[in-house]
Amino acid sequence: MLTHASLAGKRVLVTAGAGGIGRAIAAGFLANGGKVHVCDVAAVDLEAAKQALPGLGGTLADVAKPEDVNRLFDEAEARLGGLDVLVNNAGIAGPTGPIENLQHADWLRTLDVNLNGMFLCLKRAVPLLKQAGGGSIVNLASTAGTFGYPLRTPYAASKWAVVGLTKSLAMELGPDKIRVNAICPGSVEGERIERVIAAEAKARDVTQAVVRESYLRGVSLKTFVTAEEIADMALFVCSDLGAKVSGQALAVDGNTETLAS
């Protein structure tokens, strides 16, 4: 895990921070002396993360709900005393299948969590970052935000939007010394990618092994990535090592060549 002295004392909020990538990022900031508050929609996971990571603060919240986001930021500000870093990590995989078979409600929920949730968090976070004299925003996008992704159109559309949001905000907030970057993970090892593979195998009427092989075939390094490797990139861009990095969509993916099967 990346370590750097400039991360010590950072006041950090990580959405969906009780598991997966979010928990790895939260753990990384804590290990570097940061003060970290997270939210999550799963009470059991949130409590487990707080038990495993001493010093971690947490709020049960769904970032797609304005009232939850307001409560999250009220609690985080009270606990942290301000904000230096926002990690917009919350996101869902969304439905898998041909667009004509998708349900409107599933499309809306994907955009609500993956995009609108970021907007709600940014509205509360930016004034705090300005009060701090600058800071860093990390938005979790995906390689699906830079490539076409058949059968995963809601997810891909939301992640392309995240990249556009990131680049626009980097321009808007640069004069306030606020850096804004997107991290674009490839396929990340864990339960979530297994569910995605299973759903795609069903939609394509092939085995999960066939889908997994097609994912690996589309990556130059022929590998999935880990949550800790994504966390290292987040720590880098929020440290002094990344002081001049802003407006970037940074892939941590072994070089994705295609997401088409």
pLDDT of 261 above 90: no
* Count of domains forming the chain: 1
Residue 143 lies in a domain: yes
Closest to 29 measured CA to CA, from 49, 4, 52 = 4
**pLDDT (0 to 100) of residue 1:** 85
155 flagged as catalytic: yes
Q: What's the mean pLDDT in 129-142? A: 98
pLDDT bucket at 26, cuts 50 / 70 / 90: very high
**pLDDT (0 to 100) of residue 7:** 98
pLDDT of 175 above 90: yes
CATH number at residue 30: 3.40.50.720
pLDDT bucket at 116, cuts 50 / 70 / 90: very high
Residue 260 lies in a domain: no
- What range defines the domain where residue 112 resides? 5-188+226-252
The residue from 29, 155, 224, 236 that is catalytic is 155
Q: What's the mean pLDDT in 12-24? A: 98
